[in-house]
Every structure is written in structure tokens, then in C-alpha cells.
């Protein structure tokens, strides 16, 4: 005979409810997932470091916790990765400033200032000076920064040789689809940006839709850009800076012990990425040179033209691509750093 629940003794109901709650919690803990997206190629340095963080998280989390990495831009471009985190399809992403700006625009100060940084030492100094405040801004937007990295200096890869800014006015540039402000600035100076996603670069070069790509040497090698755009202008236009971020929701779901383990793994991975990625720049250039890459070096006069172009860009970037107060802060930090070095 079956009795309705309201005829059951209270102690039995309490026990059954307690068992149900505990079962749900156990299943929930055992089935936790972290899904991480990135444009970085599979088996690259960046992918390997994400795997190491994943192993630490799995071990600390215990149970059947699953850590899934989606490399090669399989989850879309950087703006799309930011969107997917917001709606819960991903819990984290390793992305450059292009994607990070979708979360917090002021991060553009570390990447979108051409020819400003003269060395990695300057990049590191400014990032560390701004790091605490920047991470707080991301936290306020619902994201936790676990690791800071970079992937080399932007160089210009083109089908035809070019040395001075005016040479590029007859060319069509790859431009990130999400960076409309940058595209407007380029147009105002007489350049032709073509907004695309990263996955579209190679076919776009092959079909003539674009014929110049701003890219780091490592990415140009990994994606085979140099095979159809075999001229590289040797100029450190800007550093590509990035970070591994996870949603605050995913972070809050971790226990303090798991958070501590993941935080330590993130710091270690960030250092590894920054150190090794910088070494790989020259390795990538040398590998491409052996396969036909032509390296074009601007002479002093041509370099002055590039510096003049950068000076024209700064007022246009301030207050549009980068908030004015953050723009000014970067210049102030650099002034202090250079003064300490006698520059």
C-alpha cells in the first residue's frame, strides 16, 4: 500500500530530504566543469600552460571534475569568447587585449599604443604598476584574472615589400572585426582596414581580400600567414598582451583551497608564457626565413616617419580606444621608469 507524503512521519521526511540534498551536492561537486576557450593553436606553449593549470584544478577539485580546452578559435573569435563567458557557455578564456577590451576597455592601454613601449622591461613595469587596479576592474565586471601573458611584438606581414607608412596606404589591412574605433582611426589616416575574424585571415590573403596582416611572428608561423605574405617589416609596433580570465561565478564555486592552488598555477603559467613567448619570437623569425620570409628593416629616415605616425595616433586613441585617465597613467608610469634608467 502506498501512502501520500503527508502521512509519512516527519523524521522520515527529514531524512529523505537530507539524503536528496547530499546526493545532489555530491553529484554537483563530482561533475564540475571548467570550459576554457582560446585562439591559441593546439599543442602551442599557451595550450600547454592551460593544460597544466587544468591538471592542478582537477587534482584540487577532486571527484570527476572535467577541464575542457577549446583551442584554435573553435569557439569563435575573441569577442565571441567574451560573450560565451558572459552567458555561461565558457567558464574562462585565454585571450589578448582584443577580447579583454570587450570586458574592460581600459586594458587597451597595454597593447593599443603603437611604438610606445621600447622593451619588454617597460611593458612589465607598466603592467605591474597597473595590475592591482586593473584586476579590480575586471572583478567588478564579473571576471577573475588568473594569469598575465604576452606573445611577442606585432610586425607587419605583407605580400609586397614595404618600408614606410605611405607604402601601406595602397594595401588592405586585416583588422579585428570587434575594433570599430581602430578601423575608423585607420580610415581617417588613409589606410584601408578589412574587418575579419582570425580564422578568415589565410583565405582572405589567398583571395586578395587583404594583403597585409599585423601579427606576431609566432602566430604568423603557426598559421602559415608568411607563406602568402612573405614580407615582414621589422618594427616593434606594439606588444600583444593577454590574460587568462575566468568568470567570477566559476571562481566562487571553488573552495578557498582550490582557489589557492589555481591562483598559484596561474601565476606560474603567466611567468612561463611571458618568458618562453619572448624567446620564441626570434626562433619563429629564423624558422620563417629558412622558408622564404624576407625581413625588411626601415632605415633611420623611414623609422622617423613611423614615429611621426605614432605621435599622430595617440591623440586619436586617447578617449576612444583607451579611456583618457588610463592613457595618461601609462605615460606617467613610463616617464618615471625611463627617468630611473637615465633616459
In the prediction, which pLDDT does 177 show? 75
Over residues 22-39, the mean pLDDT reads 66
- pLDDT at position 31 is 66
**Residue 302 clears pLDDT 70, i.e. is over it:** yes
The Cα–Cα gap between 94 and 147 comes to 9
| Section 273-278 average pLDDT | 92
Q: Is the pLDDT of residue 107 over 70?
A: yes
Give the per-residue pLDDT at 27: 38
So what's the pLDDT on residue 197?
86
- Say yes or no to pLDDT of 25 above 60: no
3-state secondary structure the chain: CCCCHHHCCHHHHHHHHHHHHHHHHHHHHHCCEEEEEECCCCCCHHHHHHHHHHHHHHHHHCCCCEEEEECCCCCCCHHHHHHHHHCCCCCEEEEEHHHHCCCCHHHHHHCCCCCCCCCHHHHHHHHHHHHHHHHHHHHHCCEEEEEEEEEEECEEEECCCCCCHHHHHHCEEEEECCCHHHHHHHHHCCCEEEEECHHHHHHHHHHCCCCEEEECHHHHHHCCHHHCCCEEECCCCCEEEEEEEEEHHHHHCCCHHHHHHHHHHHHHHHHHHHHHHHHHHHHHHHHHHCCCCEEECCCHHHHHHHHHHHHHHHHHHECCCECHHHHHHHHHHHHHHHHHCCC
Q: Which CATH number fits domain 33-340: 3.40.50.880, 3.40.190.10, 3.40.190.170, 1.10.10.10?
A: 3.40.190.170
**Residue range 87-95: mean pLDDT, rounded:** 97
Q: Identify the band that residue 29 occupies on the pLDDT scale cut at 50, 70 and 90.
A: very low
Q: Beta-carbon neighbour count of residue 83 at 10 Å?
A: 16
Residue 259, pLDDT > 80, answer yes
Is the predicted pLDDT of residue 301 greater than 70, yes or no? Answer: yes
- Please state the rounded mean pLDDT for residues 40-59: 95
Contact 305, 164 (CB under 8 A): yes
Distance CA 312, CA 315 (A): 7
- Per domain, the residue ranges of the chain are 33-340
Q: pLDDT exceeding 70 applies to what percent of the chain?
A: 91
pLDDT over threshold 70, residue 1: no
Whether 236 shows a pLDDT value over 60: the answer reads: yes
Amino acid at each position: 500500500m502506498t501512502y501520500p507524503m503527508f502521512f509519512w512521519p516527519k523524521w522520515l521526511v527529514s531524512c529523505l530530504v537530507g539524503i536528496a540534498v547530499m546526493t545532489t551536492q555530491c553529484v554537483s561537486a563530482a561533475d564540475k566543469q571548467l570550459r576554457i576557450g582560446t585562439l591559441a593553436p593546439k599543442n602551442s606553449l599557451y595550450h600547454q600552460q592551460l593544460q597544466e593549470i587544468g591538471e592542478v584544478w582537477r587534482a584540487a577539485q577532486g571527484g570527476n571534475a572535467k577541464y575542457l580546452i577549446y583551442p584554435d578559435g573553435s569557439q569563435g573569435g575573441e569577442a565571441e569568447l567574451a560573450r560565451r563567458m558572459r552567458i555561461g557557455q565558457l567558464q574562462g578564456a585565454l585571450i589578448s587585449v582584443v577580447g579583454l577590451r570587450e570586458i574592460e576597455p581600459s586594458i587597451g592601454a597595454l597593447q593599443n599604443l603603437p611604438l610606445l613601449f621600447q622593451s619588454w622591461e617597460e611593458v612589465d613595469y607598466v603592467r605591474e604598476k597597473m595590475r592591482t587596479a586593473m584586476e579590480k576592474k575586471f572583478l567588478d565586471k564579473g571576471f577573475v584574472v588568473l594569469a598575465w601573458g604576452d606573445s611577442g611584438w606585432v610586425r607587419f606581414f605583407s605580400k609586397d615589400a614595404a618600408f614606410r607608412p605611405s607604402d601601406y596606404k595602397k594595401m588592405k589591412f586585416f583588422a579585428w572585426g570587434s575594433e570599430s574605433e581602430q578601423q575608423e582611426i585607420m580610415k581617417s589616416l588613409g589606410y584601408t582596414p578589412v574587418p575579419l575574424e582570425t580564422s578568415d585571415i589565410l583565405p582572405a590573403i589567398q583571395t586578395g581580400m587583404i594583403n597585409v596582416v599585423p601579427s606576431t611572428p609566432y602566430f604568423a608561423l603557426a598559421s602559415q600567414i608568411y607563406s602568402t605574405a612573405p614580407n615582414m617589416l621589422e618594427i616593434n609596433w606594439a606588444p600583444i598582451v593577454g590574460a587568462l580570465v575566468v568568470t567570477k561565478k566559476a571562481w566562487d564555486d571553488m573552495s578557498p583551497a582550490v582557489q589557492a592552488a589555481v591562483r598559484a598555477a596561474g601565476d606560474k603559467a603567466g611567468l612561463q608564457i611571458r618568458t618562453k613567448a619572448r624567446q620564441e619570437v626570434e626562433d619563429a623569425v629564423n624558422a620563417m626565413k629558412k622558408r622564404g620570409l624576407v625581413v625588411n628593416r626601415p632605415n633611420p629616415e623611414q623609422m622617423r616617419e613611423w614615429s611621426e605616425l605614432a605621435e599622430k595616433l595617440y591623440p586619436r586613441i586617447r578617449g576612444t580606444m583607451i579611456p583618457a585617465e588610463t592613457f595618461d597613467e601609462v605615460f606617467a608610469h613610463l616617464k618615471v621608469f625611463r627617468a630611473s634608467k637615465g633616459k
